[in-house]
Amino acid sequence: MRLYNWSSFLTGIVVIVLGVIMLLNNFGVLSINVGDLISIYWPLLLVIWGIGMMLPGAGAASEKSRKNRGKPAAGLILIALGLLLTGHNLDLFKLDMSVVWKLFWPAVIIIIGWNMLRGASGPGSAHWAVLSGIEFKQKGWKLEDGSYFAFMGGIDMDLNAAEIPEGETHLNFTAVMGGVDIIVPPGIKVECDSTAVLGGVQFINEESGSIIASRKSEYGGEPESGKKLVLRCLAIMGGVEIKH
């Protein structure tokens, strides 16, 4: 089982338990306020997420595990945050979370704005998917420098069907509570500069994601290829996937 499947598995158990409680409530077997239960124990989802990031998947000695050494630390942070919030909700102690949120959300907005500025400063046009989806799959469509922004929407791009020019092509992708899926031909060189905030960026066989993660990756392609894709990817509570 891969790393992220643990989170889905544990979250599925929680959802089933909630469903069983609601069912027993409806038949008078239990009398539990599900709303209060959720409002108190929702931070345990952060704990589940953190556990899912820490549990072994492909094996500690695998190449993928070595490339994701930052995940255990991020998992510990999520677990600690979830337990602190749960303790706060149970009145075991009091926390002043206002300082954390005052720093976190402005930082997220600044990151979004900075990424948009980087995209605006580059050549090419901008493409937006806001509460909707756009596809680039038609045979023979021409790839050019540009920026792509998905807000609570999706962008699906198949570069196998595109006419890719010689030299470097610069593409900026931003996913905010949305998703971007990019298929690249295996023979083309690809360079990716990615940042993830409570989201994830998967580059070929490498995955980057946690509370805040940043990395640069490169795929060599075929040595004789004169084409290269230079990607800048930002995922905030969303995901960007680059694959063959």
Cα gap 15→19, rounded to integer Å: 6
Cα gap 63→40, rounded to integer Å: 39
22 assigned to some structural domain = yes
Domain that holds residue 13: 3-95
* 131 and 235 co-located in one domain: yes
* 131 and 216 co-located in one domain: yes
Neighbour-count burial of 26, counting CB atoms closer than 10 A to its CB (0-12 exposed, 13-18 middle, 19+ buried): exposed
Cite the DSSP H helix spans in the chain.
Answer: 3-26, 34-41, 44-54, 63-67, 70-89, 98-121
107 assigned to some structural domain = no
User: What is the residue-level pLDDT of the chain in tens, covering all 244 positions?
Assistant: 344 456 667 778 888 999 999 999 999 999 999 899 999 998 888 888 778 767 755 333 333 433 444 456 566 777 888 898 899 899 898 877 676 667 766 766 776 676 666 555 555 678 888 888 899 999 989 999 988 988 888 999 999 999 999 999 999 998 888 889 999 998 899 999 888 877 788 888 776 555 567 788 888 888 788 899 999 998 887 889 999 8
Question: In the numeric block, which tokens belong to residue 28?
Answer: 């008078």
100 assigned to some structural domain = no
113 assigned to some structural domain = no
Q: What is the pLDDT of residue 63?
A: 39
* 80 and 138 co-located in one domain: no
43 assigned to some structural domain = yes
* 79 and 136 co-located in one domain: no
Region of 28 please: left (phi>0), alpha (psi -120 to 50) or beta: left
114 assigned to some structural domain = no
180 assigned to some structural domain = yes
* 125 and 238 co-located in one domain: yes
* 129 and 237 co-located in one domain: yes
Give the pTM: 0.57
Q: What is the pLDDT of residue 108?
A: 66
